Amino acid sequence: MAVLWWQKGLAPVIYLRPPLSRSDQTEKQQQKREKERIQAEEKMSPKRKLERGNDYTSRADTLIDAVKSMIWKVSHSLSTLELIDDLHRRGISYHFVDDISHLLDMIYHNYYQTQDKWDRMDLKLKALVLD
């Protein structure tokens, strides 16, 4: 469908479609850049892809080690349980299964072996244990 467009003071112009607005132009530019990025990744050599993957893997390992040290530095059992709860909620607790089970065993032996210890425990700590 041909559309007639004109601007004040200029001769009329027939377009097959209306001219792109600024938002349409930026969207088109973004789509073009994304397409170019995808094509560049497809052209990337397998060796470079492997190097890039190794970079991400080494960064992930570094972060996992940092979180493990954070887990063991927490001194108060309430803070420990809150950290474990946060790891579960973020969906990354599978990296720390052994550490978490060891910490939970320690907390159990320190607080839950006797009813007397359970009765003296902080209410928020009890809520996290029962969660």
Query: What pLDDT does 52 receive?
Result: 67
Q: What is the mean pLDDT of residues 13-18?
A: 55
Query: What pLDDT does 29 receive?
Result: 82
Number of domains in the chain: 1
For residues 99 and 69, the answer to whether their CB atoms sit within 8 Å is no
**Mean residue pLDDT across the chain:** 75
Does residue 95 lie within any of the structural domains? Answer: no
**pLDDT one-digit tens code per residue, 17-45:** 555 566 666 778 888 888 888 777 777 66
- Residue scoring higher pLDDT (120 or 34): 34
Does residue 123 lie within any of the structural domains? Answer: no
Q: Which domain holds residue 1?
A: 1-33
Query: What pLDDT does 4 receive?
Result: 52
What b-and-e string marks burial along 46-85, b requiring 16 or more CB atoms within 10 Å of the CB? eeeeeeeeeeeeeeeeeeeeeeeeebeeeeebbebbebbe
The rounded radius of gyration (Å) of the Cα atoms in the chain is 30
Does residue 55 lie within any of the structural domains? Answer: no
**pLDDT one-digit tens code per residue, 85-110:** 888 898 988 888 999 888 888 877 77
Helix/strand/coil for 12: coil
Does residue 21 lie within any of the structural domains? Answer: yes
d(Cα 131, Cα 125) in Å, to the nearest integer? 10
Does residue 45 lie within any of the structural domains? Answer: no
**pLDDT one-digit tens code per residue, 45-98:** 666 666 666 777 888 888 889 989 988 888 777 788 888 888 889 898 888 899
Helix/strand/coil for 51: helix
Phi, psi (degrees; rounded to nearest 5) at 91: 80, 25
Does residue 39 lie within any of the structural domains? Answer: no
Does residue 18 lie within any of the structural domains? Answer: yes
Does residue 57 lie within any of the structural domains? Answer: no
